[in-house]
Chains A and B, each alone.
Chain A
Amino acid sequence: MITVSQTITLNDLTVNFDERFQLTNINWELTTGQHWMVTGANGAGKSALAAVLAGAGDIIAGAVSGLPNTVSIVSFEAQAELIAEELKKDDADILDVIAEGTTVSEVFERDCADTQLALELADVFGLGSLLDRAFRKLSTGESRKMMLVRALANKPDLLILDEPFDGLDVEMHAQLQAYLKKLSQTVPMVIVLNRLDECPDFITDIAYVAEGELGQQIKRSDEKAYAELYQLLHLKTTDLEVPAADPENPIPTLDSAQPLVNLKNATIKYGDTVIFEGLNWTIQPNEHWQLSGPNGSGKTGLLSLITGDHPQCYTNDIFVFGFKRGSGESIWQIKQFIGYVSTALQWEYRVSVSIRNVVISGFYDSIGLYTKCTDRQRQIADEWLALLGMSERADQPFNKLSYGDQRLLLIARAMVKHPPLLILDEPCLGLDDMNRQLVLALIERICAGTETSVLYVNHHPEDKIKGIEKYLAL
């Protein structure tokens, strides 16, 4: 029986893969008794991270220590490598015969520490009748199984499985799950998986990789963190697109030659206290802005001059969405052009209303829903919930949701009508790391998929949003 009694440590590790990909600043500890799942979006670097444990990549900085002697890896890359070797051999063959290539049993004899075990496992996985077949001739699923048997029969001290269930039929999937479960009692495993719902029961820890960095590491038993990770993966990997606006009730078209917002010599003061004065600001269509400034500098006040929520918008020279403020327009005529998210809005959103209706309320710019919506609007709201991975909770009350989920919903509410201007007033405020990632992932999807100008207020440099090129500091 093999047990890993030591700890594998990746310390400030930076690894290059053929110049085309880099894992950066990895700090990771795998200890006795743990089985890890590594997950992340496509291209995030999860396979690379697992492969590092099998010796892949060029270490640029930092160190790996505690790796056991025998590490087996099953991955599409390893599979491709094996096939490439075989092809090379084939090319080198100068005899004028059609080479059948290496058979499955030959692969086992060549590569496995325990050939007998390999043959037993071949039976278990239904490869018994294929032992004499050239492995190049195997179907995708069959060669996948062969790779697994090959790895398992190598009696590894650490087993790395990269998407082991891909290409397996349902029956095989269950069989492999059962086998791995048994194996988990003796062999520590690192399994790379795209989908959390494939996560085997014996996994104890989950690592989330994003953009070449190791993000969250959560315990499987932490249900809350698990649920959030599920949602994040969903947002990062779903094929769903940002739902369209309501074609039956379009927002009036704006004159594209006019700025969305034009403030001249704007001032906010309370009594004799001046918050800011003499501020000039123009937001043109399709410009993305970041607004920053210390606490109390009037960021939110400035935004509320635009949204019409500040009473002093009537004493300033403000032009918004074709209206000179104070010329007989109503705030609802202004608000129809704006999507708005802030912590204050979340605090104010305390009415008893379902999750779906929170999204629908974005069509009416109301807190709560007081108008009968159209079928189309309901359908669009459901599409948003699908994007957020909240479809099953559509009828649950909003106030029972976690803080982070509420924020996601309010962003969907703000975007549901595809407003010309989306104002995000510190959208990550009060959120933990995971929820911040969730919010940013959603905002990025929105920015990529719509023609909305984003006005982003934030003073955390790490909460960047791609595509913002204009800055205003108060």
Chain B
Amino acid sequence: MANYFNTLPLREQLEQLAKCRFMDMSEFSDGVDALKGKKMVVIGCGAQGLNQGLNLRDSGLDVSYTLRAEAIEQKRQSWKNATENGFTVGTYEELIPTADVVLNLTPDKQHTAVVNAVMPLMKEGACLSYSHGFNIVEEGMQIRDDLTVIMVAPKCPGSEVRAEYVRGFGVPTLIAVHEDNDPKGEGLALAKAYAVGTGGHKAGVLMSSFIAEVKSDLMGEQTILCGMLQTGSLLCYDKMIEEGIDAGYASKLIQYGWETITEALKYGGVTNMLDRLSNPAKIKAFDLSEELKEIMRPLYNKHQDDIIDGTFSRVMMEDWANDDKNLLGWRAETAETAFEKMPAGDVEISEQEYFDNGILMVAMVKAGVELAFETMTAAGIIADSAYYESLHETPLIANTIARKKLYEMNATISDTAEYGCYLYNHACLPLLGDFMKGIKSDVIGKGLSLDDMGVDNARLIEVNTALRSHPVEAIGATLRGHMADMKKIV
């Protein structure tokens, strides 16, 4: 199989990358009609599979699960998940031939095997749905001409997908139609109905393309989302220890700090995150982030280039073929880091203190978000996509670190994200070596100790203007506005 993206002419590559549109609520007035009475068969019953299925069934749709024969025979967790919730479970041979829509919710790594197994069993004219386009775009999977191929990707963990639905809401969702596989022209109608069935339409739906989704998703997850947070955690922890900060305090400041500072990011963008700092600290964080951006820009460019030209997926798939030797080795290495092994201390840290004593962390988040956004948009990805795949998702990943440090983050994200995260981490650690030599506890661990909190007016205005005029802030304000309209009318 050949990389699908690389087979397209540049004109079409650019057109596909630029696809992303925030859909209007009125576009979902048909509800789930397009799927009503159709047989939906979900492959895989992990967190996404189970929770999406629960939502779809509660929306009046006919959902059942198909698992590999071994999973059923051995009554594995996926089998228990499905049967205990009262779903029909059967083998591929039993259920796939009856399906009008097959929902492939297995991990990326299994897609080729799964799709090769189910495709011959699918009935003429059925629909195959993905939640991630890697298999189509990077692996170049060829789908039978009579089948419709769509993507519906809720931009939250499976548990959230369910919890928000039960509340009467939903999670932001990305949909796409693989234009090469839309023989009956019904792909969009099916994808919209699916998004309604999971409740996503209430929280906002982005109409994208398989290509834009894959290229932006890969870039975001391996740089700012996971890579930057992992690298930042390790560097900040080691620096605090070197500076004589209590290890328990250092561990806690990082573990919960990412969550706290990115909560401010979620509400009001990079500007609001920096506005949480005192004026001198804000200027300090700004200067640090400018320095970081200059040092790291080539790395972000390299990641984006490798993603666009397929180098990244090729190298990762070589590791898949090599029994995940790299991935598993790096995973073990992460578990042995000093930060990972030091439990958070039993100390009280106030919400504001996470900002005041974590100036460098704020600078790292700012630098990572802006770089990822700038790099993605420079590569032809539209600002809306770039926003969602950088700034919007950072708090979600930060939450996983708060739960159980880097272990939890790497366990929650996909293998693809994890692999990219390690690549980034290994390149970024040495890259920031010299920079970190100049760092002291005033920007990580203790906070500025200034007698005079005064700042130069002109400099403050300059910094504030720079913050507020970054393009990620403009698109962020617009998209958060859409979300707020839909979410709380408080």
- In A346-399, the 8 Å CB interface with B consists of 348, 351-354, 357, 361, 364-373
In the complex, whether B37 has a CB less than 8 A from a CB of chain A is yes
Which of A271, A331, A365 contacts B58, CB < 8 Å?
A331
Knowing A271-B84, A315-B86, A364-B168, say if A352 contacts B488 (CB, 8 Å).
yes
Q: Which of B59, B202, B486, B490 contacts A357 (CB 8 A)?
A: B490
Residues A366 and B169 in contact in the complex (CB < 8 Å), given A311-B86, A314-B86, A354-B490:
yes
Could you tell me how many residues of chain B have their Cβ less than 8 Å away from some Cβ of chain A? 24
Partner of B60, one of A313, A328, A353, A366: A328
Contact with A along B45-78 (1 / 0, CB 8 A): 0000000001001111110000000000000000
State A353–B487 Cα separation when bound (angstroms): 11
- Whether B168 lies near A357 (C-beta < 8 A) is no
Does residue B167 face the partner (Cβ distance < 8 Å to A)?
A: yes
Does B489 touch A at the CB level, under 8 Å?
yes
A329 touches B488 (CB 8 A): no
Chain A residues with a Cβ closer than 8 Å to the other chain, count: 32
Give residues of chain A (262-312) contacting chain B, Cβ–Cβ below 8 Å.
Answer: 270-271, 308-309, 311-312
Residue B85 is within 8 A (CB to CB) of chain A in the complex: yes
CB distance from A407 to the nearest CB of B (A): 19
**Bound-complex Cα distance A309 to B32 (A):** 20
In whole angstroms, how far apart are the Cα atoms of A366 and B36 in the complex? Answer: 23
Residues from chain A with a CB closer than 8 A to the CB of B87 are: 314
Q: Is B167 touching A369 in the complex (CB atoms < 8 A)?
A: no
In the complex, whether A238 has a CB less than 8 A from a CB of chain B is: no
Q: Are B488 and A368 in contact (CB under 8 A)?
A: yes
A329-B169 in contact given A270-B84, A312-B86, A370-B486 (Cβ < 8 Å): no
> Is A249's beta carbon under 8 Å from chain B?
no
Do B167 and A333 touch (CB < 8 A)?
no
Is B54 touching A311 in the complex (CB atoms < 8 A)? yes
Instruction: Given A271-B84, A315-B86, check contact A367 B167 (CB 8 Å).
Output: yes
Q: In the complex, A332 Cα to B58 Cα: how many Å?
A: 8
Give B133-171 as 1s and 0s: 1 = Cβ < 8 Å from A's Cβ atoms. Answer: 000000000000000000000000000000000111100
Instruction: Please indicate the chain A residues that have their CB under 8 angstroms from the CB of B86 in the complex.
Output: 311-315
A79 at the A/B interface (Cβ < 8 Å)? no
B58 in contact with A330 (CB, 8 Å): yes
Instruction: Give every chain A residue within 8 A of B489 (Cβ-Cβ).
Output: 357, 369-373
Residue pair A330, B84 in contact (C-beta under 8 Å) = no
- Chain A residues with CB under 8 Å of B32's CB are 330
User: Which residues of B have CB within 8 Å of A373?
Assistant: 489
Which residues of chain A have C-beta atoms less than 8 A from B202's C-beta?
Answer: 370
Determine if A368 and B167 form an interchain contact, defined as CB atoms under 8 angstroms apart: yes
Q: What distance in Å separates the Cβ of B87 from its nearest Cβ neighbour in chain A?
A: 8
Compute how far the CA of A367 lies from the CA of B87 in the bound complex, rounded to whole angstroms.
26
Complex contact A366–B167 (CB within 8 A): yes
Closest to A369 in B: B489
Q: Which residues of B contact A (CB under 8 A)?
A: 32, 36-37, 54, 57-62, 84-87, 166-169, 202, 486-490
Q: A311-B86, A370-B169 are in contact. List 18 more A-B contacts (CB 8 A).
A: A311-B84, A314-B57, A328-B61, A328-B62, A329-B60, A330-B32, A333-B60, A352-B490, A354-B490, A357-B489, A366-B167, A367-B166, A368-B487, A370-B168, A370-B486, A370-B489, A371-B489, A372-B489
Which A residues are within 8 Å of any B CB, using their own CB? Answer: 270-271, 308-309, 311-315, 328-333, 348, 351-354, 357, 361, 364-373
